[in-house]
Structure 1
């Protein structure tokens, strides 16, 4: 292994009328830059097990979305179209040119899917880690207990509200188009509080996400709950590495 992964820079970048906090790992190589997007209410810290390893191969961009981590708040709505627009401006202002490998966890996967759809010529690969399916509310949520559904709706206080989140799912469904890039979908095989039926349905819906690309690979992380990057980091690391070959 070389020493690229020991390089890390931390700084703020102006985007629109606010500043986003960025962690930049590694140095630019002849391989695509890897851009990682955390889930709802999360920030760059969730990638602490992943980024240093990938940075041994290529440059890695981690950032905190507006209002999260160390980033300032945005006056824009907290919907995927706004977030993708902000990420696009961030990468432009950082002068980090495409192509990119996009990695998204949970809601971050929704944003990365939308980015790949809006800017297909900039994307060389996509990794979705237990990403939210666009039909989550209609097909999956009703299979869970009333208590689970109630708790799910009440969680939307950190970054956008429930309606904004659901708007984002509708948006990615509306914009859905066939991508011609390698796609890896990683599904958590040991979800907390899920019945056998719910777990099977979750994995089934995750596998359906393969249809957004003509070049897909499906992985079930059998020993992982929702945060696969914490429970089985090597599954995520190896998936990203395969797209960098």
Structure 2
């Protein structure tokens, strides 16, 4: 079953798609990276939908969704996702899967709506201390390129505000957590790669039930380079709850 929808939430309509067979298990809600939308999950969506219902969507201003006048910070996006799930009548509990900046959103969602979330999978997600701890280890031109990318969805200040929101909200979560780290990042020195994996592993500290996996042959888009790792993680999560 595939159901596409354009759902009115406060201030705009968001595009979403529900795929699956309604087998009574938790719905998997997937959130893409900065400037990405639901298409980012195409490489895994069919296999994942065999495990349970999957809900993918386009954040405001991306893909087929309308723009929102709300600020483009994580906290606003999390409110919009919550409104979307409610309006679309997608009942909790949810297993949240967040890639890159989507990991910031899903972590914040799991904190703010903790009664609705039964599992969290972070796919090479952005650590909250990325700017001060990791970015300075990169060559100057890569730092500049990173800063210049914030034109699709929110500006650089809103992105940094989102990381600060995550820092302020950080607390222990009572949900199973799987952290997937890309082990073959493009343009990373050996030192930067080691630091990246280390910072990813530290995210495990937000849960008392965490598992860390390095996708050894993946760059940032693990879902494209080693899709089977994403599918296996989701299957393990479903079996674990």
Match in the other structure for 1:150: 144
1:201 and 2:224 are equivalent in the alignment: no
Match of 1:80 among 74, 81, 98: 74
| CA shift for structure 1 position 193 | 0.3
Question: Aligned partners of 1:51, 1:23: CA distance in 2, in Å?
Answer: 11
Question: Aligned partners of 2:237, 2:74: CA distance in 1, in Å?
Answer: 24
Question: Aligned partners of 2:93, 2:83: CA distance in 1, in Å?
Answer: 15
Equivalent residue of 1:11, what SS?
Answer: strand
* 1:119-134 aligned within 5 A: 119-134=113-128
1:232 and 2:235 are equivalent in the alignment: no
* 1:52-201 aligned within 5 A: 52-201=46-195
Question: Aligned partners of 1:31, 1:214: CA distance in 2, in Å?
Answer: 23
| CA shift for structure 1 position 49 | 1.7
Equivalent residue of 2:136, what SS?
Answer: helix
| CA shift for structure 1 position 10 | 1.5
**Runs of 5+ consecutive residues of structure 1 not aligned to the other structure:** 1-6
Equivalent residue of 1:179, what SS?
Answer: coil
1:219 and 2:234 are equivalent in the alignment: no
Match in the other structure for 1:42: 36
Question: Aligned partners of 1:116, 1:213: CA distance in 2, in Å?
Answer: 11
> TM-score w.r.t. structure 2 length?
0.98
1:26 and 2:15 are equivalent in the alignment: no
**Runs of 5+ consecutive residues of structure 2 not aligned to the other structure:** none
1:21-58, CA deviations, whole angstroms, 9 ceiling, x for partnerless residues? 11110132221000000000000001112221121121
What is the number of residues matched between the two proteins? 239
| CA shift for structure 1 position 93 | 0.3
CA RMSD of aligned residues (A): 0.7
Equivalent residue of 2:69, what SS?
Answer: coil
> TM-score w.r.t. structure 1 length?
0.96
Question: Aligned partners of 1:230, 1:56: CA distance in 2, in Å?
Answer: 18
Match in the other structure for 1:8: 2
